[in-house]
Amino acid sequence: MSSPLPTPATLQRNRTWLIFFGLFSLLVGAFCVSAPMVMTIAIEQVLGIILVASGVFSLVAVLFGDEKNHRIATVVLALIRLAAGLAFLICVRSGVIALTALLGAFFLAEGVVFVVSAFALRHHRAWLLMLLNGIVTLVLGASILAQLTSGAPWAIGLLYGIYSLFYGVSLLGFALASRKAA
C-alpha cells in the first residue's frame, strides 16, 4: 500500500511548483492582509457570481439538453444555486457572515489535517513548518467562529491572508529543504 504523503523524491521533482505556489501564496496573503475588507467583499461577490452562472448553465442544460433523467433534480439544484448566488449578490452582509462561518469551519478542518500530516512527515526537515501552519490555521478557525457576527466584514480577507502567508512559507520551506536533501 502506498503512502498518500509525498516522498523526498516527489518533493524534489516538484520543487519549482512548490516555489511558484509558495511565492504566489505570499503575494495573495500580503494583498489580503493589506486590504481585508476589499478581499472579503470580493470573495463573497465572486462566489455569488459563480453560483448564479452555475444555476443559469444548469437551467440551460435542462432546457436544451437531450438528457431526460434527473431533470427535476437538476432544475431544483439550479434554482437553489441561483437563489444562493442572488442572495450573496444582494444581501452582502448576510453572505459575508455565512461565508465567515464556512471559512472558520474550513480552517478548523484543514488545521487538523496539517497537524496530523506534520507528524506523519517528521522525517522531513521542514515538518515543523507544517505543524506551525496547522496550529496557526486551527487558531484562525477558532478566532473566526468566536467573533462571527462582529468580525465578519474583515475576518475573511485578513484571516485568509494570514493563512495564505503561512501556507506560502510552508511551501517555500519544503522547497528549500528538498533542495538541500537532494
pLDDT tens digit string along 6-64?
Answer: 777 777 778 888 899 999 999 999 999 999 999 989 889 999 999 999 999 999 988 88
* CB-CB contact of 178 with 11 (8 Å): yes
Q: What letter would DSSP give residue 147? A: T
Q: Provide the pLDDT for residue 52.
A: 97
pTM of this structure: 0.63
The amino acid at residue 137 is T
Cell numbers 515543523 label which residue?
128
Domain boundaries, the chain: 22-181
* CB-CB contact of 181 with 129 (8 Å): no
Average pLDDT value for residue range 145-168: 84
Buried-state track 59-73, b at ≥16 Cβ within 10 A, e below 16:
beebeeeeeeeeeee
